Amino acid sequence: MMERRTSRRSFMQQSAGLAALAAGVGGLSARAFADRSKELNILCWEGYNSAQVLDPFRESTGATVKAESLTNDPTMIDRLRAGETKVWDLINVNNPWARKVMFPEKLIKPLDRASMEPYFEKMLPMFKPPYKWAMDDSGKELLGMCQRFGPYSYVVNTDKISRKTAEDQGWDLFNDAANAGKYGILDSADWNVFNICVIAGFDPFKPRGEAEVAKFTETAKKVFKNAKVVGDIATMNQALIAGEIDFHMTGGTYSASPARADGHQNIRGITPLKGPLEGGKGGISWIEVTSTVNNPDLSPLAVEFLKHVQDPAVAHTVAFAEGTFNPVAQMANPDCFKLFTKDELDAIQWDSLDEEMARSVEYDVVPDYDKLLEIMNSAKREVSGG
């Protein structure tokens, strides 16, 4: 899910989760627990920290399970780098980090392919094993398990901008001076960096020169200056529903799903038909990978939890855990798919999922990310006066 989105959490949910962790796990070494076979600690995006997902596992194992939900991948990874490999058993982040960062830095441990890779056979075709983002560069080590995924570009109110118009015009919606004051920005650091690059006309995942950095700077200032609202998912959806804005970045199935689940089918995630990304694609997608932490005292329950969430009923629960709603890889399994109601499928835009994923490149690591992030944050401060 990158900071996929600050959006991916409500502030109150996040604060409660942090408070609970401070009382339970925060600052403790994993070795402080008397019996690691009955303890499991998960660092994750929201959803896996839901009681709906965790309580059945607690009941079946008799374990104490603690989960902390954060709002971006780099922060979670920095926690491991700072020594919290001794605290966490599982980390749930977006697709490039296991393969490109965490495994090379020895922050995670590989899984047993013989016992875990067969689960990929029951996933949607794009996850056919050996699935690239679940493997190391050599193709020998299995680094994590996949579940939630989706396209993530921007969202429109189709009563104001039709799906066809949005898909055809693509990122130039944000370059059109006529749209100044008609859109919002989801407060999501890495995804906003991605989007500003694409609005500026270049691929965020490729090395860039001085001219592109200058264009990024100009575009960041323009985009934030012309935004009417900056905020979280709830703020964006409320503004769209109320007609205060016509569209917003960053967004997609993930962020539009709560509004759609509430009956607002005019709120729709959009993937442009074309753009400056590799292969002329217009959208960006995310895939979560959950890995076992390189904890010197890793809980044996870590792998058991990875198996737990592959169960068809649990996978459906993960897809529709409190907060936002998402497709899951396990929907290829008829025993899982049959659990989704017509309204749930509509909420996650199942009707267009395949074509939108096909028009998207996958989330990746951005060269010079820190530099671009500071430029973007400076533009945001300049506009807000902060």
Q: Is the pLDDT confidence value at 22 over 60?
A: no
Average pLDDT, the chain: 92
Euclidean distance between CA atoms 299 and 293, whole angstroms:
10
- Do 249 and 343 sit in the same domain of this protein? no
Euclidean distance between CA atoms 93 and 206, whole angstroms:
21
Strands (E), 12-89: 39-44, 64-69
- Do 316 and 368 sit in the same domain of this protein? no
Query: Which of 258, 279, 280, 254 minimizes the C-alpha distance to 269?
Result: 254
Arithmetic mean of pLDDT, 197-208: 97
- Do 189 and 71 sit in the same domain of this protein? no
Residue with tokens 């671009």: 372
Question: Would you state the pLDDT for residue 9?
Answer: 37
- Helix 233-242 to helix 253-261 angle, to the nearest 10 degrees? 60
In the DSSP assignment, the letter for residue 365 is P
Question: Per the domain annotation, does 37 fall within a domain?
Answer: yes
Q: How many domains does the chain have?
A: 2
- Do 145 and 185 sit in the same domain of this protein? no
| Confidence (pTM) | 0.89
Question: Would you state the pLDDT for residue 28?
Answer: 45
Task: Report which of residues 24 and 335 the model is more confident about.
Answer: 335
pLDDT tens figures, 240-279: 999 999 999 999 999 999 999 999 999 999 999 999 999 9
- Do 228 and 158 sit in the same domain of this protein? yes
> Which of 12-21, 54-63, 226-235, 368-377 shows the lowest per-residue confidence on average (mean pLDDT)?
12-21
Domain extent for 293: 6-149+288-350
- Helix 51-61 to helix 312-319 angle, to the nearest 10 degrees? 150
Question: Would you state the pLDDT for residue 385?
Answer: 74
Count Cβ atoms within 10 A of the Cβ of residue 122 and give its class: 0-12 exposed, 13-18 middle, 19 or more buried: middle
- Do 137 and 209 sit in the same domain of this protein? no
Question: Per the domain annotation, does 295 fall within a domain?
Answer: yes
- Do 179 and 304 sit in the same domain of this protein? no
Q: Is the pLDDT confidence value at 346 over 70?
A: yes
Arithmetic mean of pLDDT, 366-371: 95
- Do 235 and 379 sit in the same domain of this protein? yes
Q: Is the pLDDT confidence value at 17 over 70?
A: no
Question: Per the domain annotation, does 222 fall within a domain?
Answer: yes
In the DSSP assignment, the letter for residue 157 is E
Question: Per the domain annotation, does 270 fall within a domain?
Answer: yes
pLDDT tens figures, 63-105: 999 999 987 899 999 999 999 999 999 999 999 999 999 999 9
Encoded tokens for 32: 């402080």
| Sequence-separated contacts (24+) of 214-218 with Cβ below 8 Å | 216/372, 216/375, 216/376, 217/375, 217/379
Euclidean distance between CA atoms 179 and 175, whole angstroms:
8
pLDDT tens figures, 168-201: 999 999 999 999 999 999 998 999 999 999 999 9
pLDDT tens figures, 303-326: 999 999 999 999 999 999 988 899
Question: Would you state the pLDDT for residue 1?
Answer: 52
Question: Would you state the pLDDT for residue 80?
Answer: 98
Question: Per the domain annotation, does 334 fall within a domain?
Answer: yes
Residue 345, sorted as left (phi over 0), alpha (psi -120 to 50) or beta, turns out to be alpha
Encoded tokens for 15: 């604060």
Q: Is the pLDDT confidence value at 4 over 60?
A: no
Q: Is the pLDDT confidence value at 40 over 60?
A: yes
Question: Per the domain annotation, does 46 fall within a domain?
Answer: yes
Question: Per the domain annotation, does 173 fall within a domain?
Answer: yes
Burial letters 320-345, b for 16+ CB under 10 A, else e: bbebbbbbbbbbbbeebbebbeeebe
- Do 256 and 292 sit in the same domain of this protein? no
Non-local (6+) Cβ contacts of 35 within 8 A are none
Strands (E), 253-336: 267-270, 283-293
- Do 376 and 237 sit in the same domain of this protein? yes
Supply φ then ψ for residue 200, to 5 degrees: -75, -10
CATH number of the domain bearing residue 225: 3.40.190.10
Give the strand pairing for 145-157 and 39-44.
unpaired
Sign of CA dihedral 234, 238, 244, 247: positive
Query: Which of 110, 79, 101, 100 minimizes the C-alpha distance to 298?
Result: 110
